Structure formats: structure tokens, C-alpha cells
């Protein structure tokens, strides 16, 4: 605005304009005064007056034409500022949109289901378990955590603490923005995908472990059928008791699979040694 005013002052010569205005007014007065006595001179003065007024008008028109770029720049600057402010306000309003309660309830259900899955349970199984202890008038004990899920469960607890910061599990008073909601959903989906991969890997290892254990049991049974003396041998009976105990441990998943695998391999080594010993005795 200051630049436009300065440009206008540079284009318009106010002293010249004032002088032309004064001369035009004086010529007008003189022309009206001598119009009856000197008509020709009055016409000349009137013509000069018209030239004066025309000159003043042309000076202002030229100044306005030269000032159009500055005025256009100023108008465009204001329009752009208004549009930018409107865009930022719309963006801020969009970013400040909070997640509805229905979606928060669905998120809470998914998080609870994921927490039960880490303990090897489903919502239906947990409901039956709680109903059972309730019928006994007892408080349901805490669920045991499989050792292979310890790392994932620690990360799950971090996710729960993050949600508790916003007011979970009381979703009615939670104000969670869309970007935070998307972040939590992505975090939960990532945890669930890794849990499924780990469960699949664990099932494969469990199947391999059971197959190895079944092979050792079959080897032990075959060794016992070779001779009656074998079944009465203390080493044979010790391996038989260890195999039965290990079968219960593997079926109930009471110990980490790595430990169970080591125990099976040790029993298989003992079986090989026992089989060699009876072979030498037979010879």
C-alpha cells in the first residue's frame, strides 16, 4: 500500500494539477464576466477552461492506468492470503477430527482379542473360563503366558499403555484423532501378523518335536520287545519313565520347545547307547 501511494505521488504532479484547477476556475469566472461585452474573448477563455479541465482529467487517468499493476498486485496478494488462510483452516479442521465412539469400541475389542491371542485364548474360551470360576464363586486367575510370546506381549503392553494415555478402556471419554487411530491400528495389525507367523512356526516345530518323540518311543518299544531281560534293566525303565513324562510335557506345552527338543535328543542318545550296550551283551 505504501509503494502504491509513493508511485501515485511520483506520477501525479499535484502542483501542476492545482495550478490547472485554479486557472480553469479563474478562466470560468472571467469568461462569464466578459461574455456580454467581449463575446469572442469569452469563447476563447471558455475554450482554455475546457483545455484545463481536460488536462487535469488526463493527468489522473494516466496516473490510474500506470497504477493498475500495483493495484492488481495488491488485490492478488490479499486474495491469495484469504485463500491460504481458508485452506489452512480447512486442513486444521480435518486434522482435528476425532474418531467416533463406535470405531473406538471396535478398536477396544480388537485389542482385547489380540491380548487373549497372546495367551493362546479366544474371547469365547475366556468367557467360558470366567463363567466356570464364577459358578465356583472364585476369581478367575491370571492367564499363563507362553514363553515364546514374551517379547510380543511386552510390546503389546506398550501399546496398551499408549491407549491408556488417551483414556482407554473408557471409550466414551476418549478423544483420539484420526492419525493416532491409524497409527494404533497399524501397530496392532503388525503385532497380530507377527503373532500368526510365530504361531505357525511354533506349530511346525511342535509337529517336528512330536514326530521325533514318537520315533524315540517306537525305538524304545522295539528294544523292549527283543528280550525280556531288557525290560527289567534299570536304564531301560529310567528311559521309559522319562519318555512318559516328556510326552505329557510336550502335549501340555509346559516348557519351551527348545528345552523339550534338547530333552528328546538326550533321550535319543541314551536310547542309542542302551541299544549298543544290549547288542554287545547279546554278542
Q: Which long-range CB contacts under 8 A does 36-44 form with residues at least 24 apart? A: none
pTM, rounded to two decimals: 0.54
* pLDDT band, very low/low/confident/very high, at 3 (cuts 50, 70, 90): very low
What's the pLDDT at 4? Answer: 42
pLDDT at 267 exceeding the cut of 90 = no
Q: How many helices (H) and strands (E) does the chain have?
A: 10, 0
Q: How large is the average pLDDT for residues 69-78?
A: 77
What's the pLDDT at 111? Answer: 94
- The residue count of the chain comes to 283
First vs last C-alpha separation in the chain:
116
* pLDDT band, very low/low/confident/very high, at 279 (cuts 50, 70, 90): confident
Question: Which tens digits make up the pLDDT trace of 25-69?
Answer: 888 888 788 877 888 888 888 888 888 888 888 887 887 777 777
* pLDDT band, very low/low/confident/very high, at 76 (cuts 50, 70, 90): confident
What's the pLDDT at 282? Answer: 57
pLDDT at 87 exceeding the cut of 50 = yes
What's the pLDDT at 274? Answer: 81
Position with higher pLDDT, 91 vs 180? 180
What's the pLDDT at 153? Answer: 94
What's the pLDDT at 11? Answer: 56
**Share above pLDDT 70 across residues of the chain, in percent, rounded to a whole number:** 89
pLDDT at 139 exceeding the cut of 50 = yes
Residues 59, 61, 63, 69: what is their CA dihedral angle, to the nearest 10 degrees?
-160
- Distance CA(72)–CA(76), nearest Å, equals 6
Helix or strand or coil: residue 177? strand
The chain-wide mean pLDDT, for the chain, equals: 83
Top-confidence range, 68-82, 208-222, 249-263: 208-222
Question: Which tens digits make up the pLDDT trace of 16-27?
Answer: 878 888 888 888
Amino acid at each position: 500500500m505504501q509503494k502504491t501511494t509513493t508511485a501515485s505521488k511520483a506520477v501525479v504532479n499535484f502542483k501542476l494539477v492545482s495550478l490547472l484547477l485554479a486557472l480553469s476556475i479563474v478562466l470560468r469566472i472571467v469568461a462569464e464576466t466578459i461574455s456580454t461585452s467581449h463575446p469572442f474573448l469569452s469563447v476563447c477563455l471558455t475554450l482554455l477552461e475546457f483545455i484545463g479541465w481536460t488536462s487535469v482529467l488526463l493527468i489522473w487517468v494516466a496516473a490510474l492506468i500506470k497504477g493498475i499493476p500495483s493495484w492488481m498486485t495488491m488485490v492478488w496478494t490479499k486474495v491469495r492470503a484469504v485463500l491460504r488462510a481458508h485452506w489452512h483452516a480447512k486442513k486444521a479442521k480435518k486434522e482435528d477430527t476425532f474418531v467416533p465412539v463406535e470405531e473406538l469400541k471396535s478398536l477396544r475389542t480388537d485389542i482385547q482379542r489380540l491380548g487373549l491371542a497372546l495367551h493362546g485364548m479366544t474371547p469365547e474360551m475366556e468367557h467360558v473360563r470366567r463363567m466356570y470360576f464364577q459358578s465356583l464363586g472364585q476369581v478367575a486367575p491370571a492367564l499363563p503366558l507362553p514363553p515364546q510370546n514374551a517379547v510380543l506381549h511386552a510390546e503389546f503392553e506398550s501399546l496398551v499403555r499408549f491407549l491408556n494415555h488417551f483414556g482407554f478402556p473408557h471409550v466414551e471419554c476418549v478423544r483420539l484423532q484420526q492419525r493416532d487411530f491409524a497409527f494404533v491400528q497399524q501397530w496392532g495389525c503388525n503385532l497380530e501378523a507377527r503373532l500368526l507367523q510365530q504361531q505357525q512356526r511354533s506349530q511346525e516345530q511342535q509337529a517336528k518335536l512330536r514326530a521325533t518323540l514318537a520315533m524315540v518311543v517306537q525305538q524304545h518299544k522295539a528294544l523292549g520287545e527283543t528280550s525280556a531281560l531288557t525290560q527289567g534293566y534299570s536304564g531301560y525303565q529310567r528311559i521309559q519313565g522319562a519318555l512318559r513324562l516328556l510326552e505329557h510335557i510336550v502335549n501340555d506345552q509346559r516348557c519351551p520347545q527348545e528345552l523339550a527338543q534338547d530333552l528328546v535328543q538326550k533321550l535319543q542318545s541314551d536310547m542309542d547307547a542302551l541299544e549298543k550296550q544290549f547288542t554287545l551283551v547279546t554278542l
